[in-house]
Every structure is written in C-alpha cells, then in structure tokens.
Structure 1
Amino acid sequence: MPIKFITGRLKGMKYSLQGGIQLIRSEASIQVQFGVAILITIAGFYYNISRTEWIAQTLCIGLVMTAEGLNTAIEGIADFIHPDFHEKIGRIKDIAAGAVGIAALIAVIIAGIIYIPRIF
C-alpha cells in the first residue's frame, strides 16, 4: 500500500475530527443532541440493555447527529449562495431540517421500545 494513500486517509481523518469538534462547539442543536446521547448512554448502562439494543441505540445517535451535521452544512451553503430570503432556499433548508426531524422521531421511537418496558 503506497504511503501517499495512507497519509491521505490520515489527513481525511484529521479534517473529519476537526469538523466534528467545530460542529459540537458551534451548533446548539448538536450540543443538545450530544447531551441527550450521553444521558441515553448512561441509561443503557443503568438498565443493562442488550447488545442488539446497544447497536440500535448507537445507530440512532449516529443517525441523528449525522443528519444534524448535514443539515448544518446545507444551511451554511444555502446562506452563502443566497444570504437574503429566497423561497427556494427556504424550502431546501426546511427539507434538510425535516430530515433531522425524521431521524429524531425514529430515535425517540426506538428509545421508547428499549426503555419504556424497563421504566414501567
């Protein structure tokens, strides 16, 4: 495997980590979701959820945070391209936010399936 390939992947990982840190530091919605992720992870340990439930929970956390990151990027690009209000840009931003909402709804449903029987 050529060294250039490996160094390219390491640079990509560095940029990915920097972007994730920047996202968490600058976006209130991601900060809230990160806090919820920590709480739900603590709940997973407390209620001793199964391996399959851990997989579902981790996938949901990743799905919601990824959707939020993409939504933030789409909104940033849209604002850069057209800083003033524009109906089409507004629709694009609404659709991106809607994707986050769908991911969050699915995550809440799965959390309910995992935790409601344990709580009650």
Structure 2
Amino acid sequence: MKKFIRSVGFALKGIRHAFATQLNFRIQTSVALLAIAMGLYFDISANEWHWVTLCIALVLMMELFNTSIETLVDLVSPGYNELAGRVKDVSAAAVLIIAIFTLVTGAIIFLPKILLLFHVA
C-alpha cells in the first residue's frame, strides 16, 4: 500500500509541475472547469457526461504526454536538432487532434442547448 500511495504522490507532483510550468495545461484545465460548469448548468445526460469527461481526460493526458516528450527531447538534445524539432511538432500535433475532437464533441453537446437558451434553434 505504501508503494501505491508513493506512486500517487509522484503522479500528483507531475500534475502540479505541469500546472505550474505549462500555460497550455492551465488553459486546458480552465476550459475543463468551464465545460463541467456548463454541464451542470444545462443538466446534461449521463451519456453526455461520459463524452465530456472523456474529452477532458484525453486533452489533459495528451498535454501531459506532450510535456513529457518535450522535456525528454530537451534532455537528450539540448541544442538545435531538426529531428528533435520534428518529434516535438508531432507531439504537439497529437494534442491538436484531440483538442479538435474535443471542440467538435463539445459543440455537438452544448451548441443546441446554448441556441435554445437564446431561442435561436
């Protein structure tokens, strides 16, 4: 049990580090909190909550992976290296793909509710 608690502590340390050093992680966390608030306000269904929480988890996980990859690349290649740059670019592209998926999913869930709120639909 001690080993498990220590591993959770290390994971929380990683989240704190990402939050303290990565602007994108802070922005994504803020957007996640906004999505949760909107879900509560619009009283979304259990199925919709599933998609919202999945999107939040995917975006935050992907940003953590991206941060890890960038840190590792900086460690092994501190100077300019074209291949290192490609690794970072591809890692950032993975975050972008998940962010686009999340944006589309959020629009599918929330846009009809927002439009009804303003009697546009």
TM range (shorter): over 0.9
Q: Report the Cα distance in structure 1 between the residues aligned to 2:16 and 2:46, rounded to whole angstroms.
A: 28
Deviations 1:45-65 (A, max 9, x none): 111100111111011001001
Q: How do 1:30-41 residues align onto structure 2 when only pairs under 5 Å count?
A: 30-41=25-36
Gaps of 5+ in 2: 116-121
Q: Report the Cα distance in structure 2 between the residues aligned to 1:81 and 1:19, rounded to whole angstroms.
A: 20
Give structure 1 regions of 4+ aligned residues with deviation exceeding 4 angstroms.
none
Gaps of 5+ in 1: 1-5
TM-score by length of 1: 0.93
- For 1:66, give the aligned amino acid: M
RMSD: 0.7
Q: How do 1:101-112 residues align onto structure 2 when only pairs under 5 Å count?
A: 101-112=96-107
Sequence identity (%): 34
Q: Report the Cα distance in structure 2 between the residues aligned to 1:65 and 1:48, rounded to whole angstroms.
A: 23
- Is it true that 1:49 corresponds to 2:27 in the alignment? no
The answer for the alignment partner of 1:116 in structure 2 is 111
- For 1:51, give the aligned amino acid: A
- Is it true that 1:26 corresponds to 2:31 in the alignment? no
Aligned to 1:85, the other structure's residue is in SS state coil
The answer for the alignment partner of 1:76 in structure 2 is 71
- For 1:60, give the aligned amino acid: C
Q: How do 1:79-98 residues align onto structure 2 when only pairs under 5 Å count?
A: 79-98=74-93
- For 1:37, give the aligned amino acid: A
Q: Report the Cα distance in structure 1 between the residues aligned to 2:14 and 2:77, rounded to whole angstroms.
A: 23
Deviations 1:28-86 (A, max 9, x none): 00000011011111110111100111111011001001100110110011011111111
Q: Report the Cα distance in structure 2 between the residues aligned to 1:55 and 1:21, rounded to whole angstroms.
A: 25
